[in-house]
């Protein structure tokens, strides 16, 4: 059985020793302790495990190690730069676009992929691109708002600094320490 011995992830070349048939998700979480990427369904249906592979949003639960030799992997842990969160991470915090946070890393990685292709997506375009990412807490409207907010900030339109008020339909806390990268599970 072929072995994979290195992985390019978040700008680093990491030494690993993995069976080529193992999933990228398993190696990220279990071998490299990059636990921001979540296991949801394991079948490509929920988007919780989304990472970027050469800049494209991909389901890491369905990606075998043998299929990504030499490819550049980016996870939620690799989005911050020089101690600053990515604008989309900031926007998720600003608008409170998460509750339990389990879907958040995958949502943000898909959103980053969308904004790299389409810097100013309409709500319909956001919904269409993100339809494979499931949020069991139902924060979709705030996720759309966060992506639009990040798009505005990247295009130089200064967003309001006021945090969005919680949706009256929600009764759960929006307290988080870091969008998408903090909760283990």
Total residues contacting ligand FES (rule CB under 6 A)? 23
Largest CA distance in the chain: 55
| Binding segment toward ligand FES, per CB under 6 A, in 86-94, 95-103, 116-124, 144-152 | 95-103
**x/- contact string, 33-52, with ligand FES (CB under 6 A)?**
------xxxx-xxxxxx---
Binding to ligand FES by residue 56, rule CB under 6 A? no
Nearer to ligand FES, 154 or 182 (CB): 182
Question: Among residues 73, 95, 135, 176, which is the contact residue for ligand FES, using CB under 6 A?
Answer: 135
Instruction: Read off φ and ψ for residue 64, nearest 5 degrees.
Output: -85, 150
Cross-sheet strand order for the sheet of 72-74 = 12-19, 3-9, 72-74, 50-53, 56-59
Instruction: Determine, following the binding rule CB under 6 A, whether residue 144 of this chain makes contact with ligand FES.
Output: no
Q: By CB under 6 A, is residue 173 in contact with ligand FES?
A: no
Q: How far is CA 106 from CA 27, 51, 54, in A?
A: 17, 7, 16
d(CA 50, CA 88): 15
Query: Which residues form the interface with ligand FES (CB under 6 A)?
Result: 39-42, 44-49, 59, 61, 98-104, 135-137, 139
């Amino acid at each position: 059985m072929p072995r994979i011995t290195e992985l390019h992830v978040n700008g680093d070349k990491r030494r690993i020793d993995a069976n080529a048939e193992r999933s990228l998700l398993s190696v990220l979480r279990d071998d490299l302790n990059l636990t921001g990427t979540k296991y949801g369904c394991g079948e490509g249906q929920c988007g919780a495990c989304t990472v970027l592979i050469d800049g494209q949003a991909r389901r890491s639960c369905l990606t075998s190690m043998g299929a990504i030799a030499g490819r550049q992997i980016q996870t939620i842990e690799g989005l911050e730069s020089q101690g600053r969160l990515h604008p989309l991470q900031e926007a998720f915090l600003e608008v409170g676009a998460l509750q339990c946070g389990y879907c958040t890393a995958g949502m943000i990685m898909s959103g980053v992929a969308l904004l790299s292709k389409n810097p100013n997506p309409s709500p319909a375009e956001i919904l269409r691109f993100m339809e494979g990412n499931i949020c069991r807490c139902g924060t979709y409207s705030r996720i759309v708002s966060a992506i639009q907010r990040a798009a505005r900030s990247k295009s130089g339109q200064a967003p309001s600094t006021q945090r969005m008020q919680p949706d009256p339909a929600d009764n759960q806390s929006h307290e988080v320490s870091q969008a998408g990268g903090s909760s283990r599970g």
